[in-house]
Amino acid sequence: MAMKHEFSLAYAQELDASDSLNRFRSRFLFPQHEGRAAVYFTGNSLGLQPVSTRDYVLQELNDWQTFGVEGHFEAKNPWFSYHEMFAKPLAKLCGAKEKEVVAMGSLTNNLHLLMVSFYRPDAKRNKIICEKKAFPSDTYALQSQIRFHSFDYREALIEIAPREGEYTIHEDDILAAIELHKDSLALVMIGGVNYFTGQVFDMQKITRAAHDAGAFCGWDLAHGIGNIELKLHEWQVDFAAWCSYKYLNSSPGSVAGMFVHEKHLNNPAIPRFEGWWGTDPQTRFLMEDTFRPMDSAWAWQLSNAPVLTMAAHKAALDIFEEAGFENLRTKMRVMNSYLDFVLDEIIRMKGAGKMEIITPRKAEERGCQVSLVFPGRGKELFTALTQKGVIADWREPNVVRIAPVPLYNSIEDIYRFGEILMEIL
Ligand SMILES: *Cc1c(COP(=O)(O)O)cnc(C)c1O
């Protein structure tokens, strides 16, 4: 986006004044630093608490108090069908059909459940392609799934690394690996947005290549959902999973979610680990021995809904609905444009050797997050940022991640960050 920017507080405030989503900032609770809101740039790690969350959770506590067990059917939002309220907003965020998504479980749990269905290796096809330095939980999940099937992950897990001296991964290297291993490949499972660099992958292209090789393709969207535009149905993605406490602001460890493509629903050839909440609700309380799967991703649900965390999830998704994801995407492009300008200013003033931006610049290869490396500086730089009221995060060995999010961050936040960083450098 070719915009001519200025590095000044007045200019930043002017941009904020013309932002139609500005009003949403006051709907969130900010950690305070020296009497004012901190510059909160860790929405990619734990989103802020919406002001409304307390009331949504209180509603369920009150209904529990009033109705006891009858709340399953008598509560304002009956707990028996509580998860059904998420079909619409999650389908929108994922670019999916309502029956392809479900709010349930936790991210790593869901990845395991999905691999039970979509990673069924045999002597010929047992390899999984993933990115090198995936989020550790994903790596452990992948390794343990391979071990569970009595294969050796040192042979079966193919990790695609950035090239020598680089931080991001060449998509061509992923495609080449898929081609190379096509006769033994069972699954491709990658983070759609890399947690370390913020790099966004072309999920459609990689999914197609995996399918051409005869493998399934699934995506970890922990850093994707609520951040970038997703079209999981159209892209023919087999499955995906995410957590809701990052860009979705749904409270620490809150209920997660998953996507299963329509083509795999109600397909007896795709096995599952099953529980009573995956059965047809009409017959669920008949307590029969026969599992009658729901004709949707809900068939993967094991347990009854964790209503308190789902209430927080509902509060957060209602705000997304109100703001409109398209509007948020538009604002993100303005924020990224200003952030790039500010970072370039810093590099211009302080010298190119002082800071390196490792996140791709191209709009289609990035979301809200920008990862920064400061050659010759260590964690002390990050500590100085914290002391001056910037809440960012540090990833070993040398990366500072920042993620200004359109829902509650402002252009002024970016200006203040730039000013503080300029001073520290
Ligand atoms: C945040 C994150 C997780 C966390 O997993 P939980 O099961 O929610 O603890 C896993 N994978 C990725 C890629 C993440 O970004």
Task: Provide the CATH number for the domain around residue 295.
Answer: 3.40.640.10
- Tens digit of pLDDT per residue, the chain (425 long)? 456 899 999 999 999 999 999 999 999 999 999 999 999 999 999 999 999 999 999 999 999 999 999 999 999 999 999 999 999 999 999 999 999 999 999 999 999 999 999 999 999 999 999 999 889 999 999 999 999 999 999 999 999 999 999 999 999 999 999 999 999 999 999 999 999 999 999 999 999 999 999 999 999 999 999 999 999 999 999 999 999 999 999 999 999 999 999 999 989 999 999 999 999 888 877 778 888 899 999 999 999 999 999 999 999 999 999 999 999 999 999 999 999 999 999 999 998 899 999 999 999 999 999 999 999 888 999 999 999 999 999 988 889 999 999 999 999 999 999 999 999 99
Provide the edge-to-edge strand list for the sheet that holds 239-242: 101-103, 257-260, 239-242, 216-220, 185-191, 127-131, 157-160
Residue 292 shares a structural domain with residue 267: yes
Ligand 1 centroid – CA 252 distance (Å): 12
| Pocket-testing residue among 42, 130, 195, 197, ligand 1, by greatest number of atoms within 8 A of Cβ | 195
Residue 13 shares a structural domain with residue 77: no
Ligand 1 centroid – CA 168 distance (Å): 20
**Residue nearest atom 8 in ligand 1 by C-alpha distance:** 107
Residue 163 shares a structural domain with residue 289: yes
H/E segment holding residue 74: helix 71-74
Ligand 1 centroid – CA 293 distance (Å): 28
Residue 311 shares a structural domain with residue 415: no
If one counts every other C-beta atom within 10 angstroms of the C-beta of residue 10, the result is 8
Residue 13 shares a structural domain with residue 74: no
Residue 276 shares a structural domain with residue 413: no
Flag whether 38 is in a domain: no
Residue 95 shares a structural domain with residue 171: yes
Flag whether 2 is in a domain: no
What does the block give as tokens for 120? 């069924």
Q: Pick the last residue of a domain from 291, 321, 351.
A: 321
Q: What is the Cα–Cα distance from 411 to 400, expressed in whole angstroms? A: 19
Domain containing residue 343: CATH number? 3.90.1150.10
Flag whether 102 is in a domain: yes
Task: Determine the structural domain holding residue 282 and report its residue range.
Answer: 57-321
* Chain centroid, CA 19 distance in Å: 25
Flag whether 50 is in a domain: no
Q: What is the Cα–Cα distance from 416 to 342, expressed in whole angstroms? A: 10
Contact 136, 144 (CB under 8 A): no
Give which of 377, 384, 382, 420 is closest to 401, Cα–Cα: 382
Look at the pTM and tell me if it is higher than 0.75: yes
For residue 106 and ligand 1, the question of a CB distance below 6 A is answered with yes
Residue 294 shares a structural domain with residue 164: yes
Residue 290 shares a structural domain with residue 387: no
Atom of ligand 1 nearest to the CA of 253: 8
Q: Pick the last residue of a domain from 306, 321, 336.
A: 321
| Pocket-testing residue among 108, 113, 244, ligand 1, by greatest number of atoms within 8 A of Cβ | 108
**Residue 11, burial from CB neighbour count under 10 angstroms (0-12, 13-18, 19+):** middle
For residue 243 and ligand 1, the question of a CB distance below 6 A is answered with yes
For residue 227 and ligand 1, the question of a CB distance below 6 A is answered with no
For residue 241 and ligand 1, the question of a CB distance below 6 A is answered with no
For residue 242 and ligand 1, the question of a CB distance below 6 A is answered with no
For residue 110 and ligand 1, the question of a CB distance below 6 A is answered with no
**Residue 74, burial from CB neighbour count under 10 angstroms (0-12, 13-18, 19+):** middle
Ordered alpha helix ranges (H), 325-410 = 325-350, 379-387
Residue 252 shares a structural domain with residue 148: yes
Contact 242, 222 (CB under 8 A): yes
For residue 135 and ligand 1, the question of a CB distance below 6 A is answered with yes
Q: What is the Cα–Cα distance from 354 to 226, expressed in whole angstroms? A: 32
Residue 64 shares a structural domain with residue 181: yes
Ordered alpha helix ranges (H), 181-275 = 203-212
Flag whether 41 is in a domain: no
DSSP-derived secondary structure letter, 31: P
Flag whether 52 is in a domain: no
For residue 191 and ligand 1, the question of a CB distance below 6 A is answered with yes
For residue 413 and ligand 1, the question of a CB distance below 6 A is answered with no
Please give the pLDDT value at position 290.
Answer: 87
Ligand 1 centroid – CA 313 distance (Å): 17
Flag whether 44 is in a domain: no
Ligand 1 centroid – CA 8 distance (Å): 37
Residue 303 shares a structural domain with residue 331: no
Ligand 1 centroid – CA 401 distance (Å): 16
Give which of 231, 218, 196 is closest to 44, Cα–Cα: 196
Flag whether 354 is in a domain: yes
Output the CA–CA distances (angstroms, integers) from residue 219 to 19, 114, 118, 202, 250, in the order listed: 33, 10, 12, 11, 21
Question: How long is the chain?
Answer: 425
Q: How many domains does the chain have?
A: 2
Residues 6 or more apart in contact with residue 136 via CB below 8 angstroms: none
Q: Pick the last residue of a domain from 280, 306, 321.
A: 321
Match 């959770």 to its residue by tokens.
57
Q: What is the Cα–Cα distance from 283 to 103, expressed in whole angstroms? A: 21
